[in-house]
Amino acid sequence: MQLHIERRSQRPLYLQLVEQIQERIRSGALPAGSRLPPIRQLASELGLTRLTVHNAYAELQADGWIESFVGRGSYVAERPGVKAQMRPSPVLPPVPLLRPGALAEIMRLSHQPEMISFAQAAPAQETFPVREFGRMIQQVIAQDGAGIFDYGSSQGEMTLREQLAIYLLDRAIQAPVEEIMVVAGAQQGMDIVLRALLDPGDTILVEQPTYLGMIERMQVQGLKLVAVPIDEQGIRPDALETAITQHQPRLLYTIPTFHNPTGVCMTPERQEALLDIAQRYSLPILEDDIYGPLSYDGPAPTPLKARDTTGLVIYLTSFSKVLMPGLRIGLLSASSPLLEGLVAVKRLSDMHSPQVTQRALAEYLARGHFAAHLRATKALYRERRDVMAASLQRYFPSDATWSVPSGGLCFWVGLPPGLRSTDLYESALEHGVAFGPGQVFFPEHSVQGFMRLAFAACSPEAIERGVQILGELLHDQLIRRQRLRVRAFETVPMV
């Protein structure tokens, strides 16, 4: 097979391979039943890593272009590409902002078999209450009959909104059902707020660093993004005020509790200062509290919304991290006139979220199952967090830095001075470990010296093993760097 890899291209190497092999199959150069070269051979012919070729073959197999048999190799399928035709075409006209970005890569890595993935801030599947939730679904279908599959309310099922109002009391938020709407996960909540409040070209303030899915979402809408630095107490009020006066933003997006990616919690003093500034400049705030309930060392910090007396805070959370992300259920809470506008955007976007899952979640909450689930899940995640803390202590170089998060799903690790997470990323993947490279959480990818390690979805054994591998790779890099320095010193002419 004559394949050509363009190393300077922005296109990932494995995708270049996928596309070229597809092309050969389409043109008949590789007919059905022909054998593809073994991974090791193709990797060495093209000077690629085996992982890259493996990823390409896995993608071709997933789309039905080839079939792989353990011990026998990979063959062009009888009806190649049939499955792929059921997916959106990969050759749609390229719209730069809609390219799969870092978020897509992080989600892909998390589903690779045999990869220890610290990449995605995902909950642990083994905590999902599949049977109980299944029972709730059967029950609400039996109760409601066909009506449950009819069109429903864009604001969300009333039984669920009633339960959500009770749920919010645990976060010290008093919101009447009229001020709550159901959304398809926090990501849709952000999308709705941005569509409702901002036009292309408007400026939005975010924390630096911030949630990757928000950075990519803003870029799609052509928003101007201004990043405000945070420290260990949360967003810096002085920098915030400067950004407001210089850029006249339309919205501030913040994650005050168990911030993603840093794990920082905004102190009560900072929260008060932030609310005061927002009031002075009439700046609406979108508060993302998706990790709020996941506190491991004591009661969860109070969210901004609970202190807000101005109505400027729009509150967003979801059941993705605390229950099951596949439910796609979250909530927005805002003062009444604003909420009406948000509901109108939701209606135009997807009419409403499915009634079946909303009704089942309402039952699940009403029966107290969720409270018990959260208790057990927090105990499991606390243990995994502690294993990661101990493993970092044991295996990472002494000049790496981190603090143990008191909640949420991630460690934010500062690498030893001079090392960049990009230098480690590829070799970590080759050794079967994925992580979130720090720069993707900075809007301009400007800071290189961090990595985000999500711990909840990995077993304690996988956490220890994965951290050990990363630690060894970091030590190797430090040694290599030291050798380079010695060599540079040796070549200095002695006079």
Q: Which is nearer to ligand PLP, 66 or 255 (CB)?
A: 255
- Strands of 122-220, DSSP E: 180-183, 203-208
Integer CA distances (angstroms), 380 to 21, 249, 374, 376, 416, in order: 44, 41, 10, 6, 30
- The CA R_g of the chain, rounded to the nearest whole Å, is 25
Q: Is residue 236 a contact partner of residue 230, using CB atoms and an 8 Å limit? A: yes
416-421, long-range: CB < 8 A, 24+ apart: 416/474, 416/478, 417/449, 418/481, 419/449, 419/474, 419/477, 419/478, 419/481, 420/448, 420/449, 421/448, 421/449, 421/450, 421/451
Q: Please tell me whether residue 186 binds ligand PLP under the rule CB under 6 A.
A: yes
Q: Is residue 21 a contact partner of residue 64, using CB atoms and an 8 Å limit? A: no
* Closest residue by beta carbon to ligand PLP: 185
Partner residues linked to 283 by β-bridges: none
> In the complex, what is the shortest distance from the CB of residue 441 to ligand PLP, in angstroms, rounded to a whole number?
10
Q: Which is nearer to ligand PLP, 318 or 439 (CB)?
A: 318
CA distance 436 to 134: 33
Q: Which is nearer to ligand PLP, 183 or 362 (CB)?
A: 183
Q: Please tell me whether residue 264 binds ligand PLP under the rule CB under 6 A.
A: no
Q: Which is nearer to ligand PLP, 288 or 308 (CB)?
A: 288
Please identify, among the stretches 172-180, 181-189, 270-278, 424-432, the one whose residues bind ligand PLP according to the rule CB under 6 A: 181-189
CA distance 295 to 147: 39
Q: Please tell me whether residue 255 binds ligand PLP under the rule CB under 6 A.
A: yes
> In the complex, what is the shortest distance from the CB of residue 188 to ligand PLP, in angstroms, rounded to a whole number?
7
Binder of ligand PLP out of 153, 163, 271, 318 (CB under 6 A): 318
Q: Please tell me whether residue 330 binds ligand PLP under the rule CB under 6 A.
A: yes
Binder of ligand PLP out of 22, 74, 187, 477 (CB under 6 A): 187
Please identify, among the stretches 77-85, 185-193, 391-399, 412-420, the one whose residues bind ligand PLP according to the rule CB under 6 A: 185-193
Angle formed by the axes of helices 460-490 and 369-395, nearest 10°? 30
Binder of ligand PLP out of 18, 60, 119, 121 (CB under 6 A): 121
Q: Which is nearer to ligand PLP, 24 or 346 (CB)?
A: 346
Q: Please tell me whether residue 454 binds ligand PLP under the rule CB under 6 A.
A: no
Q: Please tell me whether residue 288 binds ligand PLP under the rule CB under 6 A.
A: yes
CB atoms within 10 A of CB 356: 17
Binder of ligand PLP out of 211, 395, 396, 455 (CB under 6 A): 211
Binder of ligand PLP out of 290, 361, 413, 433 (CB under 6 A): 290
Intra-chain end-to-end CA distance of the chain, in Å: 56
CB atoms within 10 A of CB 177: 15
Binder of ligand PLP out of 156, 185, 405, 443 (CB under 6 A): 185
Partner residues linked to 414 by β-bridges: 401, 450
Tell me which residues touch ligand PLP (CB under 6 A).
121, 185-187, 211, 213, 255, 260, 288, 290, 318, 320, 325, 330
